[in-house]
Chains A and B, each alone.
Chain A
Amino acid sequence: MQAVKNLQSVQMRPRKPAFRRAWLSWIGIVSVIALWQIVVWLRVYPEFIIPPPISVVERFWEALADGTLWLHTSTTVSQMLAGLLFGVVSAVILGTLIGKSRALEALLSPLIVAVQSTPVVAYAPLLVIWFGSGPTSKIVTSALIVFFPMLLNTMIGIRSVPVMMHDLMRSLHATRWQTFRMVEVPYALPVLLGGLKVSATLAVIGAVVGEFVMADAGLGRLINQARFSFDTPLVLVAVITLAAIARFMYGMISVLERRLLFWQRRQ
């Protein structure tokens, strides 16, 4: 019986910090809302600039009930996911190739850095003209914005494999595929997942920037529409929804990270 109790206490112990962290996150969110309400009470700004939290909540339920929020959120999420997929897949493929070839890096890096150093808002209008006002331009914007961090992390990951590991695989007469699968992927995975976390949040920005320029639907379009009709609570509803999507994506990739990198925790 005592052994079972001991086992339970051992199992419970690691959960405590996570539980505490979750509470701290909520305390942080509640504090921001409390501060927001205090600013409203103190009338630092008129209510049309900073509306009270309750009116944002009311507007949230209205937008949810009439289907507006779902329409725009689903559009943004689908475009973001497509952009993330294209951006990540192409970056991982190219990042792997560049990670293995210095010549390819020398050839492509000026171009890649040039694209990355240009703010997305500068070229988003051009993408809309080139790819049309439909979802393609938003997917391309999203893919471009996630491409660089993912590419960089893939390169770093591939190059993080110690030389002795390559020597070992060669001594075992391993094929290229075996080396890639058994050594390079496991070594690259932690860095790669770090890049994926950043990319997932950036993908939201990419999709929304495209929607700001021109769109029939999406949270960026909803923000524009709400701004021009002076509906500040609806602007905040859309902004908070975007933040929630980004946080959800981050959380999902953290879960994926824990599952894929289980061996790290064992170590």
Chain B
Amino acid sequence: MMRKAVMVLAAVVMIALGVTVTMAQETSDQTLFLTFVPNIQFSPFYVAIEKGYFAEAGFNVTIEHGDEPIGVDLIASGSRQFGIISGEQVIAARANGRPVVYVYQWFHQFPVAIVATENSGIESIADLAGRRVGLPGRFGASYSGLIATLSANGMTEGDLSLQEIGFNAPEVICIGGVEAAAVYVNNEPLQIQNRIDAGDCGSVTGIRVFPVSDYAAVVSNGLVTNEQTITENPELVGAMVGAIDQAVRDVLNNPAEAYLMSAAYVEGLPLSDDFRAWLEAESASASERGDASPLESVVYNQALRDALVDVSDRDAALQFEILLNTAALWANDPLGYTDPAAWETTAQTLITMGFLDEAPDLSGAFTNDFLPQIP
């Protein structure tokens, strides 16, 4: 009897040790590369950390922010395994020998738009001809979005008076430096409108927004890894995609909860006591409602946006609205799916921009193989 008990105990200890060792082996440190700076727009990654999705997938994730080309080189050289990179950067990088692969489309609508002041009389893309149009620089998503929009309307950048204004569109538009600008659709139009409402935008009385996605399907930001990781450790890629997919789904379902969780990661994110209470109430009602499809969530979130009018903390309301606007750009069915036709359009845009000489081979640039919904 005693012998049997000792054997059972030994077996239990061995199993426990085995589990511990297995868990230790399966947990890997991952540095996830993001562009820009900590911001409410990156809330799915904060939610994935807070809700333990990365941990469940076996990752101990550290987030780092930096310049997109640096991120591409870090991922391509294997110094990092995952990062959020825009589609056109993946094409340009592969054309220059970098073995990066796009595995999950995060933004389904290209986040860039052309914003024009009402006073300018610009009512269509064609009206931009001969006008002073600002853009951060002749690189990155803003430039490719602008070129794709112009191409779709039979125009080229030579038709405009392009001015490089950095990421200062609200300031430059409000002082009358440009009549229109390529901006991030989820952010700058709100900032400009807020300034107009506050009477702090010079002679500008209103704006018109022309989203790039209305004119051209260009591949936007998504999760990128390298060919070596896909070949040697496809389970790792699948696990990372699964964790991010769940987090994106959660933010769409319950943006109020995502905002609350993001406060610990985004320094200076406005969160007064009243607004926290409002968010907690909205979060609770979203939890009661249960999971909705991504496209249904956008409809629910529209009601949430309308309710923001009554929020007294305007800074917080602006940031929350940025989150809602951003989340609307992620929605798709299925989430994460990247359309091969959009890659062709993006490659053509890069050729028009002069970043590519000829049509690239796109076969290895992206894959939908790791999406949780697609067997």
Return the chain B residue nearest A47 by Cβ.
B97
Of A9-17, A154-162, A227-235, the one with at least 4 CB within 8 A of chain B: A227-235
Which residues of A are found within 8 Å of B155, using beta-carbon distances? none
Q: Chain B, 51-86, contact with A by CB distance < 8 Å: what is the 0/1 string? A: 000000000000000011100110011000000000
Q: Chain B, 112-152, contact with A by CB distance < 8 Å: what is the 0/1 string? A: 00000000000000000000000011111000000000000
Query: Given A46, A49, A128, A225, which contacts B139 in the complex, CB threshold below 8 Å?
Result: A225
Q: Chain B, 353-367, contact with A by CB distance < 8 Å: what is the 0/1 string? A: 001000000000000
Query: Given A46, A133, A232, which contacts B166 in the complex, CB threshold below 8 Å?
Result: A133
Which residues of A are found within 8 Å of B97, using beta-carbon distances? 46-48
Complex CA gap A40/B91 in Å reads 25
Query: Given A49, A214, A230, which contacts B137 in the complex, CB threshold below 8 Å?
Result: A214
Q: A45-B77, A48-B73, A216-B164 are in contact. Are A229 and B355 (CB under 8 A)?
A: yes
Return the chain A residue nearest B162 by Cβ.
A216
Q: Are B69 and A227 in contact (CB under 8 A)?
A: yes
Q: A214-B137, A224-B139, A228-B140 are in contact. Are A48 and B96 (CB under 8 A)?
A: yes
A125 to chain B, nearest CB (A): 7
Q: Are B355 and A46 in contact (CB under 8 A)?
A: no
Q: Are A228 and B77 in contact (CB under 8 A)?
A: no
Q: Are B98 and A229 in contact (CB under 8 A)?
A: no
Return the chain A residue nearest B140 by Cβ.
A228
B137 to chain A, nearest CB (A): 6
Q: Does B171 contact A (CB under 8 A)?
A: yes
Q: Does A129 contact B (CB under 8 A)?
A: yes
Q: Does B93 contact A (CB under 8 A)?
A: yes
Q: A46-B77, A48-B73, A129-B171 are in contact. Are A230 and B166 (CB under 8 A)?
A: no
Q: Does B316 contact A (CB under 8 A)?
A: no
Q: Does A198 contact B (CB under 8 A)?
A: no
Q: Chain B, 93-112, contact with A by CB distance < 8 Å: what is the 0/1 string? A: 10111100000000000000
Which residues of B are found within 8 Å of A213, using beta-carbon distances? 166
Return the chain A residue nearest B98 by Cβ.
A48
B74 to chain A, nearest CB (A): 10
Return the chain B residue nearest A214 by Cβ.
B166
Return the chain B residue nearest A227 by Cβ.
B69
Query: Given A48, A129, A224, which contacts B168 in the complex, CB threshold below 8 Å?
Result: A129
Which residues of A are found within 8 Å of B68, using beta-carbon distances? 228
Q: Are B69 and A228 in contact (CB under 8 A)?
A: yes
Which residues of A are found within 8 Å of B92, using beta-carbon distances? 228-230
Q: Does B165 contact A (CB under 8 A)?
A: yes
Return the chain A residue nearest B89 by Cβ.
A228
A118 to chain B, nearest CB (A): 19
Q: Does A215 contact B (CB under 8 A)?
A: yes
Which residues of B are found within 8 Å of A125, using beta-carbon distances? 166, 168
Which residues of A are found within 8 Å of B165, using beta-carbon distances? 133, 214
Complex CA gap A215/B166 in Å reads 9
Q: Are B164 and A46 in contact (CB under 8 A)?
A: no
Q: Does B163 contact A (CB under 8 A)?
A: yes
Which residues of A are found within 8 Å of B137, using beta-carbon distances? 214, 221, 224-225
Return the chain A residue nearest B144 by Cβ.
A228
Return the chain A residue nearest B76 by Cβ.
A48
Q: Chain B, 152-168, contact with A by CB distance < 8 Å: what is the 0/1 string? A: 00000000000111101
Q: Chain A, 243-267, contact with B by CB distance < 8 Å: what is the 0/1 string? A: 0000000000000000000000000
5 contacts between A and B (CB under 8 A): A48-B97, A214-B168, A225-B138, A228-B92, A232-B96
Q: A46-B97, A214-B168, A230-B92 are in contact. List 13 more A-B contacts (CB 8 A).
A: A47-B97, A48-B77, A49-B73, A128-B166, A133-B163, A133-B166, A213-B166, A225-B138, A227-B67, A227-B139, A228-B89, A230-B93, A230-B98
Closest 5 CB pairs of A and B: A228-B139, A230-B96, A214-B166, A227-B69, A48-B97
